[in-house]
Amino acid sequence: MAKRFFLIVLDSFGIGELPDAGLWHDEGSDTLGAIRSRPEFDCPALEAMGLFNIEGVGGGVPAPTGSYARMAERSMGKDTTIGHWEIAGLVSPDPLPTYPDGFPERIIREFEKRTGRNVICNKPYSGTEVIKDYGREHIETGALIVYTSADSVFQIAAHEDVVPVEELYRYCRIAREILVPPDHVGRVIARPFCGEYPFTRTANRHDFSLEPPADTMLNLLQKAGYDTISVGKIYDIFAGSGVSESHRTVSNAHGMQVTAELAGRDFSGLCFVNLVDFDMKYGHRNDVSGYAAAATEFDRFLSSFVGTLRRDDVLLITADHGCDPSTPSTDHSREYTPMLICGAGVRSGVDLGTRESFADIAATVLEYFGVAQGSLSGKSFWKAVKR
């Protein structure tokens, strides 16, 4: 029977500050802690798997159905790109560049020259607020709204009636070509919006990521002949490297639907899923109730999805960073992440403590498939949880 591994990343689902959180001014951040007391939070499936048994979380059940760990990030950052790269086995010792004062004039001038459009804004901004404050000027002048955040991102917002989506994507590719070291931002992001003031962002967001600097577990699995299927923005995060099949999604609900459909299909390899609404719709918007409700929505999916797993399937749930919706900041937070693993071939109730790196997940996935880890970071915990 084919071996299948489902790796689901709950984007930004942190479980408490890392010891070095102060370097990022994230002291006290705890994404799970912020939502678990909300009336919208009802997650019996996650609780049963061992979410609250994880070190530092508190309130666990006597006999978890899965095994569990607290994951520490070794990479120097707290963004989506290096978080996922580390999950896939690449530790980033140096942070990707950020621009708290906006992008240098030389970058903006080159971008304007190559796109034929002026730039407005060019400063850190909330994605929903920037279109309120600059949307009308953009419509009147045709200038592109360029902005950033505390993360390593170059974001371009444009109204779909002014700049067609494919044209916006072309501008993003131009920016990606311009942003080379030392200005190699993690992601160039298309942020189309529509409608009348105060405007609405559409589902046509698209990320143009920096290509990983070396092979990840995706490349190693693909070279070994296994399927590597991405759901959500996984393809974008890895710039397509090592991905054999990609499924774009427009919401958590859509991502869960696609994942359920893939579980009913025959394949042999890794299904790598990102559910971005936690981060994009709730964490960055400081919507504690919405974040809690999204966790409940995932829990409902999880309770049914586990029952569809085949004998040799493994399910692992984790996150890439935090984004505490209860703090004044709207940026990512430097936090531990959860790791829950289950399946017919996985032991229940194994407490793996605190792991030194997200990369332990890559090492575990590769050992499960019998693929040599090579130079990738991480220490596998497969033997500790295998029945």
Averaged pLDDT for residues 48-56: 98
pLDDT band at 151 (very low <50, low <70, confident <90, very high): confident
- Residue 290 pLDDT more than 70? yes
Closest CA to 66 of 303, 267, 262, 325: 303
pLDDT band at 150 (very low <50, low <70, confident <90, very high): confident
Confidence band, pLDDT 50/70/90 cuts, at residue 1? low
What pLDDT score was predicted for residue 193?
A: 98
Q: For residue range 165-187, list pLDDT tens digits in order.
A: 999 999 999 999 999 999 999 99
pLDDT digits (tens, 9 = 90+) for 25-41: 999 999 999 999 999 99
Q: What is the mean pLDDT of the chain?
A: 97
The answer to whether residue 2 scores a pLDDT higher than 90 is: no
- Categorize the per-residue pLDDT at 227 as very low, low, confident or very high, splitting at 50, 70 and 90: very high
Helix (H) or strand (E) holding 180: none
Structural domains of the chain sorted by starting position, each given as residue range(s) with its CATH number in brackets: 4-94+212-385 (3.40.720.10), 105-209 (3.30.70.1250)
Question: pLDDT at position 262, please?
Answer: 98
The answer on pLDDT for 145 being more than 70 is: yes
pLDDT digits (tens, 9 = 90+) for 76-120: 999 999 999 999 999 999 999 999 999 999 999 999 999 999 999
Q: What is the pLDDT of residues 260-283, one digit of tens each?
A: 999 999 999 999 999 999 999 999
pLDDT tens profile 339-357? 999 999 999 999 999 999 9
